[in-house]
A and B are shown apart, each in its own frame.
Chain A
């Protein structure tokens, strides 16, 4: 049962084809990694899927329904959750309040004008704090959290809305090995019915967690397969490590 998929997705900025005809299928419960060198179009693809950016061409489907023209807000309500490469949190608030804001939208009544605390929301906040390893740090203001803690909070906030599809944009960016290990456990422990697409540069993490890997290069899909297939592919190695000729990195490949 396919949760999220896209067909022929394109996005152009003037003459630059940031995303060039990408097809992707994300079944329920998948653990799908998106890798590629810098500038490959991964973040742009994420923004297209989440709804922050309009595609120039192509279509996106959620549970079979066409969501290509739906706004980001509507997609979030339909179950697409995302984290951001640079932590996007509510800086004037405490950690638990950040999660509460997210959980309130689906579990509580965010428009309620009287001071009130909803038990379901409270429980969810506690549960998530524990799940990301921040129990006891709930009252800490975001400004006082370390970088690693903020990345964990970022994931907690995204999980609070009970998304069906979770897009994680470089969740391990800037984390120490210990923190990365903890994140790895967290991701491994995500609910089985959530479809997960994550961008990562930490290839150990990718090979540990992912069941499917898509490699992007210069906006297009270079290869899709299992982690093993990708690891041994000479084309992927060339894209990452460079070839004899530097121009190959910058010019589009010649058609065969």
Chain B
């Protein structure tokens, strides 16, 4: 069974239906679920960006929160000190994520497999330390608070609905772009590197450059998701870009299924729901349940939920 993403009519039709449902959600969803859904979308964009790295390029990163955090802090800082333009803050967020990824990636992609995992873990912690100690810019351990609402032209993104629609449109654009890249020759090259890096080298591919490009691309969209976080939460703390976030993002990708962008979204929704919403009714032990689910998936569903659902899907 080929692992090329299905851009066929059927999946596009389903995607359209889902999109329509999401678009009209604010019209009938009460405020709290709407906020949760917004959080899911932000996190899903992060998960999808990580999937490009983990699922498509075969680079398992446990430090992706760092680029998410970089984007969030950049967007927040710009909104406070420079401009409240929604698009500009988002662009700055993306660029910051990409820049941080370029620096970290130039070192990290020299490693493979679990070495890479360790290195990204260490680099992520380094970024966390930076966020905690760089008082002047990040606000230290208190975080960056009082971020003003941004505006899109004349519309101020203050209400839950407005923020939701902004997040949704950014999410859809982001996933669409990454979906295109995944289905492109570049995406195929990445999958080749994932499957058999040695052979790619023997065929004349400059593997390091491709891996670095994937890392930067992934970081850019993680940063973009971070920008959305700043807009949504109006507060950024070091924990937002810390190991907890990185772990959750990796959980989402693995649970949803590597090399499946829709799987990553599904995994993200599941992770957020289990941890936050369900967690309340489980006496705050959401992370425990999440851990159990994760271990179960690792054991029983090597291709994640997407892999398990795919045969049924193909009928």
Using a CB–CB distance below 8 Å, which chain A residues touch chain B? 50, 52, 72-74, 76-77, 82, 84, 88-94, 97, 100-102, 104-106, 108-116, 118, 139, 141, 157, 161
Residue pair B199, A89 in contact (C-beta under 8 Å): yes
Q: Is B205 part of the contact surface with A, judged by Cβ < 8 Å? A: yes
Residue pair B202, A113 in contact (C-beta under 8 Å): no
Residue pair B199, A105 in contact (C-beta under 8 Å): no
A109 to chain B, nearest CB (A): 6
Which residue of the partner chain, among A88, A101, A157, contacts B189 with CB atoms under 8 Å? A101
List 13 contacting pairs A-B, 8 Å CB cutoff, sorted by A: A52-B202, A73-B207, A84-B202, A89-B196, A90-B192, A92-B259, A94-B2, A101-B192, A110-B189, A111-B185, A114-B180, A114-B181, A115-B180
User: Which residues from chain A contact B7 at a C-beta distance below 8 Å?
Assistant: 115
Residue pair A141, B185 in contact (C-beta under 8 Å): no
B17 to chain A, nearest CB (A): 22
Interface SS majority for chain B: helix
Q: Is B132 part of the contact surface with A, judged by Cβ < 8 Å? A: no
Question: B194's closest neighbor in chain A, by CB?
Answer: A92
User: Which residues from chain A contact B205 at a C-beta distance below 8 Å?
Assistant: 73, 105, 110
B161 to chain A, nearest CB (A): 33
10 new A-B contacts at CB < 8 Å, known A84-B199, A111-B189: A76-B202, A76-B203, A88-B196, A90-B192, A91-B195, A97-B188, A101-B188, A105-B205, A113-B184, A115-B7
User: Which residues from chain B contact A92 at a C-beta distance below 8 Å?
Assistant: 2-3, 191, 194-195, 259
* Complex CA distance for A112 and B24, rounded to whole angstroms: 35
Interface residues of B in 144-189 (CB under 8 A from A): 180-181, 183-189
Residue pair B203, A101 in contact (C-beta under 8 Å): yes
Residue pair A111, B191 in contact (C-beta under 8 Å): no
Interface SS majority for chain A: loop
Residue pair A88, B199 in contact (C-beta under 8 Å): yes
Using a CB–CB distance below 8 Å, which chain B residues touch chain A? 1-4, 7, 180-181, 183-189, 191-192, 194-196, 198-207, 210, 213, 259
Question: A78's closest neighbor in chain B, by CB?
Answer: B204
* Complex CA distance for A59 and B205, rounded to whole angstroms: 24
User: Which residues from chain B contact A141 at a C-beta distance below 8 Å?
Assistant: 1-2
User: Which residues from chain B contact A105 at a C-beta distance below 8 Å?
Assistant: 203-205
Residue pair A76, B184 in contact (C-beta under 8 Å): no
User: Which residues from chain A contact B183 at a C-beta distance below 8 Å?
Assistant: 115
Residue pair B201, A72 in contact (C-beta under 8 Å): yes
Residue pair B184, A116 in contact (C-beta under 8 Å): yes
User: Which residues from chain A contact B196 at a C-beta distance below 8 Å?
Assistant: 88-91
Residue pair B3, A93 in contact (C-beta under 8 Å): yes
User: Which residues from chain B contact A139 at a C-beta distance below 8 Å?
Assistant: 2
User: Which residues from chain B contact A118 at a C-beta distance below 8 Å?
Assistant: 185
User: Contacts A90-B196, A93-B2, A93-B3; is A115 near B184 (CB within 8 Å)?
Assistant: yes
* Complex CA distance for A105 and B206, rounded to whole angstroms: 10
Residue pair A73, B201 in contact (C-beta under 8 Å): yes
User: Which residues from chain A contact B201 at a C-beta distance below 8 Å?
Assistant: 72-73, 76
User: Which residues from chain A contact B213 at a C-beta distance below 8 Å?
Assistant: 111
* Complex CA distance for A101 and B207, rounded to whole angstroms: 13
User: Contacts A89-B196, A92-B3; is A82 near B188 (CB within 8 Å)?
Assistant: no
B75 to chain A, nearest CB (A): 25
* Complex CA distance for A141 and B195, rounded to whole angstroms: 13
* Complex CA distance for A178 and B180, rounded to whole angstroms: 43
Residue pair A111, B199 in contact (C-beta under 8 Å): no
Which residue of the partner chain, among A50, A73, A94, A109, contacts B185 with CB atoms under 8 Å? A109
Question: A111's closest neighbor in chain B, by CB?
Answer: B186
User: Which residues from chain A contact B185 at a C-beta distance below 8 Å?
Assistant: 104, 108-112, 116, 118
User: Which residues from chain A contact B1 at a C-beta distance below 8 Å?
Assistant: 141
B81 to chain A, nearest CB (A): 33
* Complex CA distance for A93 and B193, rounded to whole angstroms: 12
A207 to chain B, nearest CB (A): 29
Which residue of the partner chain, among A77, A90, A115, A161, contacts B191 with CB atoms under 8 Å? A90
Question: B2's closest neighbor in chain A, by CB?
Answer: A94
Residue pair B186, A82 in contact (C-beta under 8 Å): no
User: Which residues from chain B contact A97 at a C-beta distance below 8 Å?
Assistant: 2, 4, 188
User: Which residues from chain A contact B192 at a C-beta distance below 8 Å?
Assistant: 90, 93, 101
